[in-house]
Amino acid sequence: MKPTPAPVPTPPPIPLANTIAECQQQLLAKLKSGQFALSSSDKEGHRTLCYYRATFLFVSVGEDGTSVLRLPTGEVVLEHLWRQSAYKLVLVEGQYQWNYNLTDAEKLEAWQGILARLSFFTDGNARFVASTLAEFAELAAPQ
């Protein structure tokens, strides 16, 4: 009989912030703790935004290649996340279109959604980031 794998720990629920500023502060504080990250995987690849070795990094590996984006400040992290989240699909004349004109309530909901997507920065996440950085380090090494 195979041993049952240990369950993947899930972070405790984060209380919903009442303002966008609270969401942003909580998000940056959680990331800077080094214990949390924003990660996603799908058929197109794997992406992780984390605070690794005192630096905000967005690491992406997929069909289109590999990239490492160093985000120098918390403000840049927030701008990066907002560019990926500041839209919604709306139905216009039978066609879905992207709409970037969000109401204040929709903006708060978007930031709450980003905050809710935080997950633990696992050993697997750390290996993914480290191995991707190592690939780039090999390119920079003298030959």
Q: How does pLDDT run across 41-65, given as a tens digit for each residue?
A: 999 899 999 999 999 999 999 998 9
Indicate the number of domains in the chain: 1
Say if 56 falls within a structural domain: yes
**What is the value of pTM for the model shown?**
0.81
Query: pLDDT tens, 89-109?
Result: 888 888 888 888 889 999 999
Round to whole Å and give the CA distance between 54 and 57: 9
Give the per-residue pLDDT at 88.
76
Residue in the structure block whose two tokens are 């190592």:
134
Q: Is residue 4 part of a domain?
A: no
Mean residue pLDDT of the chain comes to 89
94 three-state secondary structure: coil
In a domain, 115, yes or no: yes
Cβ neighbours of 110 (radius 10 Å): 20
Residue 87 domain boundaries: 20-133
In a domain, 5, yes or no: no
Rounded to an integer, the average pLDDT of 71-93 is: 90
The mean pLDDT value for 112-136 works out to 95
11 belongs to a structural domain: no
Interacting residues of 62 by C-beta distance below 8 A, sequence separation 6+: 44, 45, 46, 47
Residue 138, domain member (yes or no): no
Domain assignment of residue 99, yes or no: yes
CA distance 54 to 47: 19
